[in-house]
Structure 1
Amino acid sequence: MNIGGKWEGINILHTDPGAEESLSCKACGMEMEVHRSVIGPTQRFEAMAEKEHEHDLWFCVNNRLDWHALLVNLSVEQSVTSSPSLKAFIQQDMNEIKAEHIAGE
């Protein structure tokens, strides 16, 4: 299953089966799609150890789009900077990208 570029916790999420009714992408705010009761690893180390378990796999429908990849990268940058002014500039850029590409923004 190819769901496009991803960043765990932003535009792809794993939850316990049936734990969530709906989730939104933390980058663009769109409702995420879900594959329920997937059997497989949820982390790289789990995959390396050849472990797997049942979970729901959530992913953003916009994952393959360039503008969405930029939003994800900006989200990561915003989360790691300690500068409030840089966080504000990054948020402004993110708002402009969303306004350009998402209806209703």
Structure 2
Amino acid sequence: MNIGGKWEGINILHTDPGAEESLSCKACGMEMEVHRSVIGPTQRFEAMAEKEHEHDLWFCVNNRLDWHALLVNLTVEQSVTSSPSLKAFIQQDINAIKAEHIAGE
């Protein structure tokens, strides 16, 4: 689910409180930051029903950067295509962006 330019399950994650010690962004691989024991909804329908619960909110430190938004979009495209050749082609773009913007890639 897209949340304000961020994708739940890729660069925004919700977990049970204390369930994870650390998580990595599925787009860029960087360690995510966490807000522990947040009270609030974790899904659109939960918010519409005015429900909330305690959870940990994880987010990538690179979320506001243009190159990261492109990585997220490519990751989504790669996950929905059924073509192995397109997946490989998209991976080349992902690798090039990571090499340009992430140290050690």
Compared CA separation, residues 95 and 31, structure 1 to 2 (3 A): same
Counterpart contact for 1:67–1:97, Cα < 8 Å: yes
Please give the secondary structure, in 2, of the residue aligned with 1:24.
coil
Structure 1 contact 27–72 (Cα < 8 Å) conserved: yes
3-12 or 58-67, which moves further after superposition? 3-12
Residue 4 of structure 1: how far off its partner (Å): 6.8
Report the identity percentage: 97
Q: Does 1:98 align with 2:98?
A: yes
Please tell me whether the aligned partners of residues 15 and 55 of structure 2 are also in contact (alpha carbons under 8 angstroms): yes
CA RMSD of aligned residues (A): 2.5
Report if aligned partners of 2:32, 2:58 keep a CA contact under 8 Å in 1.
yes
Q: How many residues align?
A: 105
The normalised TM-score by structure 2 is 0.96
Superimposed CA distance per residue, residues 26-52 of structure 1 (whole angstroms, 9 cap, x where no aligned partner): 000000000000000000000000000
Q: CA deviation at 1:3?
A: 9.9
Shift of 1:2: 14
Aligned equivalents of 1:82, 1:30: Cα separation in 2: 27
Q: TM-score, normalised by structure 1?
A: 0.96
Q: Is the 8 A contact 1:17 1:55 kept in 2?
A: yes
* Structure 2: gaps (5+ residues): none
- Superposition deviation, residue 16 in structure 1: 0.1
Deviation of the 1:5 alpha carbon: 3.1
Which residue does the alignment assign to 1:6? 6
